[in-house]
Amino acid sequence: MNDRALFAVLAAAFALSSRAAASEAMSLQEAFVRAADAVKPAVAAITAGSAEGEETQPYAPVFREPEEFFEQFFYTAERSDTARAQKAPDKRRVHDTGSGIVVTTGGYILTNNHVVRWTDEVTVTFSAAPGKKLPGRVVLRDKAADLAVIKIEAAGKLPCARLGDSSAIRAGEWAIAVGSPFGLEQSVTVGVISAPSQKLPIGQGSYIDVIQTDAAINPGNSGGPLVNLRGEVIGINTAAYSPAGDFAGIGFAIPVNRARELISDLP
């Protein structure tokens, strides 16, 4: 085979390889799109506010209860400003924002307890109905796991998220976080499972098992789903480690199998 023929063969092989790589990349892209589309209808934005006149304390990293540990990662801008200014406690209405996952067609929504820890009354917004806010109330809490269940009354059945098996996940698998970071609804970020199980200290001699991921998790993602490529919820996004205040590629989610224990008796 002369040089010209060899070059032609190599060029053809390279073209085939490029087309195959592009096709594989497009297939992976479509897998991400399908997974996001499968879960987004069941993801809601949650707003919780303390009652007018309730005293609020400036932020201090002294964790007496599990939700106080997670709250250090998802403090609202208002509270963060108060902390930085080192102001004395004042009396005003404070609002926390987060995300939630519809787990039954009858209107039960799973979220983090630290999102709703200040009140039992919340407001729920679905992106499919922008501007339509539904009142909700907290009906179940699991402080040790930083989980809570909200009930809303909706007209008709709600789309539900499919729950996966968090005991089957492996380091290196794809992970997709969905939620409302900084109030941006239906935001999707992609990463991998960094560790299927990490033990985080939440008190003296107390630990909680969490999933570690490098999918971006920011304030407002808290309570939203971490899903696999099949669109199944494998975790509830809970916190992000950011010692400098910037994204450090270390986020945490409560394994969905822990949440199953809380919602197993819901109608």
Question: Where in the sequence is the domain holding 188, given as residue range(s)?
Answer: 36-41+162-263
For residues 191 and 248, state if they share a domain. Answer: yes
Of 103, 120, 152, which one is at a domain's C-terminal end?
Answer: 152
264 has catalytic annotation: no
Confidence of residue 2 (pLDDT cuts 50, 70, 90): low
Overall number of domains in the chain: 2
Angle in degrees, CA 262, 121, 182, rounded to 5:
85
Do 145 and 192 share a domain, yes or no?
Answer: no
Report which of 252, 261, 245, 255 is spatially closest to residue 221, judged by C-alpha positions. 252
95 is catalytic: no
pLDDT tens-digit series, residues 163-210: 999 999 999 999 999 999 888 888 999 999 999 999 887 666 667 899
Q: Which of 114, 166, 194, 214 does the annotation list as catalytic?
A: 114
Residue 231, C-beta contacts closer than 8 angstroms, at least 6 positions apart: 34, 35, 36, 37, 38, 39, 162
The answer to whether 112 and 223 are in contact (CB under 8 A) is yes
Active site residue 114: yes
Domain boundary among 152, 174, 203: 152
Catalytic site residue from 50, 96, 146, 187: 146
Could you report the per-residue pLDDT of 75-123, keeping only the tens digit for each?
Answer: 333 344 444 344 444 444 445 789 999 999 999 999 999 999 888 999 9
Q: Say if 27 falls within a structural domain.
A: no
Answer yes or no: is 12 within a domain: no
Residue 190 lies in a domain: yes
Examine the domain organization and report whether 169 and 218 are in the same domain. Answer: yes
pLDDT given at position 184: 85
Burial class of residue 144 (count of CB atoms within 10 Å of its CB; 0-12, 13-18, 19+): middle
We report the CATH number of the domain holding residue 211 as 2.40.10.10
Q: List, for residues 119-139, the tens digit of each pLDDT value.
A: 899 999 987 665 578 999 999
Q: Please tell me the predicted confidence (pLDDT) of residue 248.
A: 80
Residues 189 and 216 grouped into a single domain: yes
Verify that 143 and 196 share a domain, yes or no: no
Average pLDDT, stretch 23-28? 82
Residue 19 lies in a domain: no
Pair (228, 203) in one structural domain: yes
Question: In terms of domains, do 114 and 193 share one?
Answer: no
For the four alpha carbons of 54, 60, 64 and 67, in that order, the dihedral sign comes to positive
Check residue 33 and give its pLDDT.
95
What is the chain written as a DSSP string? --HHHHHHHHHHHHHHHHHHHHHHHHHHHHHHHHHHHHHGGGEEEEEEEPPTT-EEPPP----SSHHHHHHTTS--HHHHHHHHHTPPPEE---EEEEEEEE-STTSEEEE-GGGSTT-SEEEEEETTSTT-EEEEEEEEEEGGGTEEEEEE--SSPPP-PEE--GGG--TT-EEEEEE-GGG-TTEEEEEEEEEEEEEEEEETTEEEEEEEE-S---TT-TT-EEE-TTSEEEEEEEEE--TTSS--S-EEEEEHHHHHHHHTT--
- 143 and 166 both lie in a single domain: no
Q: Which of these ranges, 4-18, 35-49, 69-83, 235-249, has the smallest mean pLDDT?
A: 69-83
Answer yes or no: is 49 within a domain.
yes
Last residue of a domain, one of 130, 152, 174: 152
Q: Is residue 229 part of a domain?
A: yes
